[in-house]
Amino acid sequence: MIDTLTLAFILYLIVLIVIGIYTARLSKSLDDFLIAGRKLGVLPVAISAEASDMSGWLVLGLPGRAFMYGISSLWVAIGCALGTLLGWIGISDKLRYYTEKLRSITIPDYLEDRFADKSHLIRAVSTSIIALFMVSYVSAQFVAGGKIISETFGWDYSSSLILGAVILTFYTMTGGFFAVAWTDVFQGLLMVAILLILPVVAIMKIGGLGKLFSTIGSMNPSFSSITFSFSGFASLIFIAGSLSWMLGYTGQPHILTRYMAIRDRKKLRESTAIGVTWALVSLWGAVIVGLAGLAYFGSLADPERVMPALALELLPRWFAGIVIAAITAAIMSTADSQLLVAASAIVEDVYHKLIRKDADQKRLLMMSRIVVLVLAVIAFILAIEGGVIYLLVAFAWGGLAASLGPVILLSLWWRKTTREGALAGMISGTITVIAWDKLGGKYLLYPPIPGMLPAFLISFFLVIFVSLLTKKD
């Protein structure tokens, strides 16, 4: 007899498969498969952008950080909220306008067209960057999926990893951007509902917000400190490092392509209101879940499993099954988008534009689906050893932020940006964030600084500096 928790989870997986099969008939061209033919409405653009952004990091990584760092984790949430606002207000409208004008359907497409790069060097560099960090990012989502399924059903990590990867790869291969966008709507609404309900239930169980804060403060005074008890210059470093997550929103292709896909550019204001509201509610809920879990459990072997642990402890089995489905939704809604972006970088930006310019739509669709499968296998292999989701996402997020963010921003807002400046920014951002992470640069200061902050600043400076040196008179 299948219990109610398992049944709720199975029904969720069935919905995803049905959406993938239904939307397969909508993908008739490469434009459809990669950006839904620019035919998406206000709601799917808004919810899909946010759901694909937040990922397993929102429901596992951020609550886990709140469990370990207390209320000081709010700085990360504030940074993400500001970044969300920056993306919608500072990027979405201009990017939608220019990509349609230039007839660009991918980010490398846009950059090559924007700088009239006939050498295809910008396309090659940006495609390589996207493939590198997106596969790492998908791997982090697979790790999250493995953790949540194994935590819930008591399966071993490898079996859980296989199940999540197979379902996600299936509907992404089948329906392309249409499937990804509409599964994101379903999953995004489920996520925000749970992040509203679970914190309320947990707070009531603990005895109110006041009781929650007094409980965690009695465990460790640092949990009640907005700077985690860092003072002076160290507190500024801590806050700056947490807020730096906002920089990532300028360089995430899986978010940027949502802006490009809306049917009516004039409707972006409505999508902005929906998207920002969704982000504020979800981020606040995720932090409160982590704090409530800290107050309730005191300690956990893996803090990143606090949300499923809290759901299984406080909710009826059938409701806990829905929560587990919501967590899985967060993971899949990002991984599917990232797989699609990585595939587009290879099929459209390399195969179609540089190798087979005469390839017909049928061949391009087939190639896209094959590449999605290959990339999913690579990400699965990388995910086998597991890891800390917060740190895995921070690396991939930071890499895309530093390598593409400054170039995207300046290409939209500063006409003097040159091809050489763009290349300098992308290459320096990539090298800095990898070197910072692998060579221990984050430990040069205390508390540690994530690589995205120095890498973004260096990249931004070099785009401007090299552009001024190479600008055409």
Domain of residue 303 covers 29-386
Of 129, 115, 147, 230, the residue nearest 471 (C-alpha): 115
Domains of the chain: total? 1
Identify the residue whose tokens are 């909508």: 26
Assign 8 a pLDDT band (cuts: 50, 70, 90): confident
Residue 460 included in any domain: no
Residue 20 included in any domain: no
In order, the DSSP letters of 428-444 are HHHHHHHHHHHTTGGGS
Rounded to an integer, the average pLDDT of 38-45 is 74
User: Whole-angstrom Cα distance, residue 108 to residue 129?
Assistant: 10
pLDDT at 139: 83
pLDDT at 278: 93
Rounded to an integer, the average pLDDT of 117-132 is 90
| Tens-digit pLDDT profile for residues 128-162 | 898 888 888 788 778 877 877 777 777 788 888 88
| Sign of the Cα pseudo-torsion (86, 62, 404, 328, in order) | negative
For the chain, what is the mean pLDDT?
Answer: 84
User: Whole-angstrom Cα distance, residue 192 to residue 452?
Assistant: 27
359 pLDDT more than 80: no
169-173 contacts, C-beta under 8 A, 24 or more apart = 169/339, 169/372, 169/373, 169/376, 170/17, 170/20, 171/16, 171/17, 171/19, 171/20, 171/336, 172/20, 172/336, 172/339, 172/340, 172/372, 172/376, 173/369, 173/372, 173/373
Higher pLDDT, residue 23 or 257 = 257
- State both tokens at 164: 């999540």
pTM of this prediction? 0.85
CB 292 within 8 A of CB 206: yes
| Tens-digit pLDDT profile for residues 65-101 | 999 999 999 999 999 999 999 999 999 999 999 998 9
Rounded to an integer, the average pLDDT of 172-182 is 59
N-to-C CA span, the chain: 76
- State both tokens at 130: 């996207």
pLDDT at 334: 66
Residue 371 included in any domain: yes
Residue 269 included in any domain: yes
Residue 255 included in any domain: yes
Residue 451 included in any domain: no
Among 222-236, 328-342, 427-441, 446-460, the least confident range: 328-342
Residue 242 included in any domain: yes
What is the greatest pairwise CA distance in the chain? 76
Among 37-41, 45-49, 266-270, the least confident range: 37-41
Assign 126 a pLDDT band (cuts: 50, 70, 90): very high
Rounded to an integer, the average pLDDT of 24-38 is 54
Q: For position 333, which CATH number holds?
A: 1.20.1730.10
Rounded to an integer, the average pLDDT of 215-231 is 94
| Tens-digit pLDDT profile for residues 252-305 | 988 898 888 788 888 899 999 999 999 999 999 999 999 999 999 999 988 988
Residue 457 included in any domain: no
Among 111-120, 190-199, 282-291, 425-434, the least confident range: 190-199
Percentage of the chain exceeding pLDDT 70: 86
| Sign of the Cα pseudo-torsion (319, 324, 330, 336, in order) | negative
Percentage of the chain exceeding pLDDT 90: 42
**Backbone φ/ψ region at 387: left (φ over 0), alpha (ψ -120 to 50), beta:** left
